Amino acid sequence: MDNAEKYIKYACDTGAADAVRFDISDICFDSRTYLKCLYGCPDFGRNHTCPSRPGSPSMAEYKEMFSSFKWGIIVHTHDKALSQKISFGIEGLAFRDGYYFSFSLSDCALCETCAAVESKPCRFVHKARPAFHSVGIDVFKTVTQLGLPLYTLTDAGVEEQNWYSAVFIE
Q: Nearest-CA neighbor of 59 among 131, 151, 4, 137?
A: 137
Q: Are 30 and 139 in contact (CB under 8 A)?
A: no
Distance CA 62, CA 135 (A): 6
Total domain count, the chain: 1
Instruction: Give CA–CA dist 46/51, Å, rounded.
Output: 10
The 10s digit of each residue's pLDDT in 104-162 is 999 888 888 888 888 888 888 888 888 888 899 999 999 999 999 988 878 777 778 89
Domain that holds residue 156: 4-168
CB 7 within 8 A of CB 73: yes
